[in-house]
Structure 1
Amino acid sequence: MNVNQVVQSIREKVAEGISEVYFVACGGSLVDMYPSKYFLDSEAKKLVAGLYTANEFVHALPKRLGAQSVVIVCSHGGNTPESVAAAQAAKEHGAHTIGLTHNKEAALLNYSDYSFLYEWGDDSNVKNNPMAIILDLAAQLLHVVEGYAHAEAFQKGLETINGIINQGKKQVAPRARVFADKYRNEELYYILTSGASYGHAYGFAICSLMEMQWLHAAAIHSGEYFHGPFEVTDKETPFILMMNEGRTRELDERARTFLNQYAEKVEVIDAKELGIGTIADEVVEFFNPVLFYSIICVYREALAEVRNHPLETRRYMGKVAY
């Protein structure tokens, strides 16, 4: 079943109407869900959205969870114990579960009423990757529940973004190599952005830098930067600023102005410069994170190469009891 068929099937089964959507996962999969939570918070008038790390969902189930709920659970390998347990808990409470994984033998599928075996890798079309599929689910669920005026523009954005990404990756490749060589010996990075992309500042920090490179990192919301974090700004610490196109761009521009004055190690990744403006103004902000994920992957690969620290290297994950 495709996204439209899944959404229509759930709609037909919920006579009272879908009342909430919960996005549940761990780590990078949870990061992929942040844009959809942001989208529904922004666009929905009635539909309630929740974003949960899986183990917290299991231990602190929302009281609203029930037959009018849709629970979307994502796990790349499909066997993350916390995510599997979350899907099981959702089913036991009568919710409609949608599972996303790259593994056709995943345990997650045992507790998924509907499932998507998504594409992965450099050759895949990003619209078939989990972040875009979940965004599509969110947009179509919103449309069937209460209508969404920009549904057509959103679908066009899904068709357009892959081409923008492919061009953007070529555009940033040289500067990513310069960045990696320049900052190869740094041990701490701050990542700033706003809007739907904030999840990817968090994801780049905890997954790309902390998990995959064993580097210290922290995500800072561009809007919160001036309410405490900017006090650590100096000329010795590297900042990575992802600038959005859309309603929150002004927040990112304010941060850039300050960083240009008081910092020296600043890397700016600008969605506008990378061509995202070809997507309709009404929906473009929701596609910033889809672009940024692929772009920051170019940066992390360059950093891993110059540091001689492969992205797959782990010392705890999957190696010790935890």
Structure 2
Amino acid sequence: MNVVPVVDQIIERNGGKVSEVYYVACGGSLVDMYVSDFFVRTESTGVTSGWYTANEFVHATPKRLSPTSVVVLCSHSGNTPETVAAAALAREAGAQTVGLTYNKEAKLLDESDYSFVYEWGDETRVHNNPMAIMLDLTVNLIDKLEGYPHIEAFRKGMAIIDTVVANAEKQVEPRTKEFASKYQDETMFYVLASGASYGHAYGFSICSLMEMQWLDAAPIHSGEFFHGPFEVTDEDTPFIVAKGLGRTRALDDRVLEFLGKYAKKVEVVDAKELGLDLIDDAVNEYFNPILFYSVLSKYRYALSVVRDHDLDVRRYMGKVAY
């Protein structure tokens, strides 16, 4: 999808003034936003950002929300009540709203100044999935506002990410089956990552393992591992480490060095090994989560098969009042 026209309209509306970008959603949609928030926090000199679960955004609205704010919202169904309410609140404050959904009839679209109805189900076109669209929008927005020196490298990366992901999925297929067979009886997993990838440690824990497999799981930032969590390490505890490329790779390496000494159940998903280094070093860290989402989806599917627990089975979601 071409995000540039939307970026141009956002900037034109306030005479080139954007003070902050808020990323607002729930569950997996919120996870998809983490890398965009991370990009703004680490690359922008003039724009701030916030990453909010939608109901908190509604109940504890940031006081900085104003007509110079951009609020990006995502809901797969487009009808998540908390996200629709957050979009309405943002518009009432005069902020510009960007809505993403898979549903052309979504209520979210009614509260969005700009919208993207994204593709879903075609695993070979990840650049048109919501995470990639939001990241593309964010990078181009920051580039237009203040200049991003690696914009061409980023665009080249976006042009080949589908190929990188497709190759990585084929590469991990046998490994995912081995993982599922080995860990099918485990009931608790710790998932570690850092930098732009941390959002997917969180996402794989709460969505893939807790929601879709009813397993206990906890995401841990690699940088925080040695400040409490590492005390649970033993030979019987399973760890999954998403080892990314980029500036925080050293944090993941430090974790793996420790686990190599004291743990026996460690699954490493390494972005470099899976071919992400085909993308320029200046920007490849921002593509880590796009790769990890697709690859870890293969892991969760393999686990669901050996556990005979379909990924779509729910006890409460959409079944009871909450």
Q: Deviations over 1:270-313 (max 9, x none)?
A: 00000101111111111111100000000000000000000000
Q: Deviations over 1:233-273 (max 9, x none)?
A: 00001100110111111110111111111000100000000
1:110 aligns with 110
2:249 aligns with 249
1:152 aligns with 152
1:135 aligns with 135
Q: Deviations over 1:146-190 (max 9, x none)?
A: 111111111111111111100000000101000001100100000
**8 A Cα contact 2:168 2:295, kept in partner:** yes
Q: How is 1:29-40 mapped onto 2 (pairs within 5 angstroms)?
A: 29-40=29-40
Cα deviation, residue 145, structure 1: 1.3
The amino acid across from 2:72 in the alignment is: I
1:58 aligns with 58
Q: Deviations over 1:42-88 (max 9, x none)?
A: 10001111110000001111111111111000000000000000000
Q: How is 1:212-231 mapped onto 2 (pairs within 5 angstroms)?
A: 212-231=212-231
2:179 aligns with 179
**8 A Cα contact 2:88 2:111, kept in partner:** yes
- CA distance in structure 2 between the partners assigned to 1:264 and 1:321 by the alignment: 42
- CA distance in structure 1 between the partners assigned to 2:175 and 2:300 by the alignment: 12
1:316 aligns with 316
Cα deviation, residue 2, structure 1: 3.0
**8 A Cα contact 1:16 1:68, kept in partner:** no
- CA distance in structure 2 between the partners assigned to 1:205 and 1:139 by the alignment: 27
1:304 aligns with 304
The yes-or-no answer on 1:90 pairing with 2:109 is: no
Identity of aligned residues (%): 62
1:234 aligns with 234
Q: Tell me, what secondary structure is at the counterpart of 2:320? A: coil
The amino acid across from 1:86 in the alignment is: A
**8 A Cα contact 2:16 2:145, kept in partner:** no
**8 A Cα contact 2:91 2:97, kept in partner:** yes
Considering only aligned residues, what root-mean-square deviation do their CA atoms show, in Å?
0.9
- CA distance in structure 2 between the partners assigned to 1:297 and 1:274 by the alignment: 15
Q: 5+ unaligned residues in a row in structure 2: which ranges?
A: none
- CA distance in structure 2 between the partners assigned to 1:138 and 1:33 by the alignment: 10
Q: Deviations over 1:172-220 (max 9, x none)?
A: 0101000001100100000011000000000000000000000000001
The amino acid across from 1:103 in the alignment is: N
Cα deviation, residue 124, structure 1: 4.7
Q: Tell me, what secondary structure is at the counterpart of 1:190? A: strand
**8 A Cα contact 2:41 2:48, kept in partner:** yes
> Which segment drifts farther, 268-277 or 121-130?
121-130
**8 A Cα contact 1:20 1:68, kept in partner:** yes
The yes-or-no answer on 1:169 pairing with 2:169 is: yes
The amino acid across from 1:236 in the alignment is: D
- CA distance in structure 1 between the partners assigned to 2:291 and 2:15 by the alignment: 37
2:99 aligns with 99
Q: Deviations over 1:29-49 (max 9, x none)?
A: 000000000011010001111
Q: Deviations over 1:118-169 (max 9, x none)?
A: 0011345111000000001110110111111111111111111111100000
**8 A Cα contact 1:32 1:131, kept in partner:** yes
Q: Across the two proteins, how many residue pairs are aligned to each other?
A: 322
- CA distance in structure 2 between the partners assigned to 1:193 and 1:314 by the alignment: 27
- CA distance in structure 1 between the partners assigned to 2:12 and 2:248 by the alignment: 37
Q: Tell me, what secondary structure is at the counterpart of 2:268? A: strand
Q: 5+ unaligned residues in a row in structure 1: which ranges?
A: none
Compute the TM-score of the two structures, normalised by the length of structure 1: 0.99
1:75 aligns with 75
